[in-house]
Amino acid sequence: MQQNQLFHDSVYDALGADVASIGGVKKVACALWPTLEPSIAAARLRSALNPEHAQKLDPEEVMTIKRLAQEAGSSSTVQYEAQQLGYVVTWVSPEDEADRIERENNEMLKRLLRNQERAEQLRTRSQLKAVK
């Protein structure tokens, strides 16, 4: 894992750092556009990372780069965005996130069972009234 630069001059600089951490323009371009010939895909990505060029990445492509960068241990773009927008990034391990989801699911299941029990009680009560 490489050391991330603390500050980037632009989002393009941050994206470029993430692309470099993933393995370079050719590797990322082939991941973004697997149906394109590699040299054409690489040229497209180089253009999209140039702030002077009209070609830009769409949000899904940027998200793909962020995901690949995360796998490579880089968070340059996410950190840049957080810095620019005044957020603090808190990283959550997959195990912690799985534990949180499991706790939420258990709470929802408990609520569902309570609601189901309450509905049964109401049905039983209404059947008793009908017998009178």
- DSSP assignment of 3-25 equals PPPS--SSHHHHHHHHHHHHT-H
Mean per-residue pLDDT of the chain: 91
Confidence bin at 36 (pLDDT 50/70/90): very high
Tokens of 112: 């569902």
- Confidence check: pLDDT of 2 > 80: no
**How far is Cα 35 from Cα 45, in angstroms, rounded to an integer?**
14
Q: What's the whole-number mean pLDDT along residues 30-47?
A: 97
**pLDDT at position 53, please?**
94
25-29, 34-38, 92-96: which range is least confident on average?
A: 92-96
- Confidence check: pLDDT of 24 > 80: yes
Q: What's the whole-number mean pLDDT along residues 17-32?
A: 97
Q: What is the DSSP letter of 62?
A: H
Q: What's the whole-number mean pLDDT along residues 39-62?
A: 96
**pLDDT at position 6, please?**
61
Tokens of 117: 């029990």
Q: What's the whole-number mean pLDDT along residues 74-90?
A: 94
- Confidence check: pLDDT of 58 > 90: yes
Q: What's the whole-number mean pLDDT along residues 52-77?
A: 95
Q: What is the pTM of this model?
A: 0.70
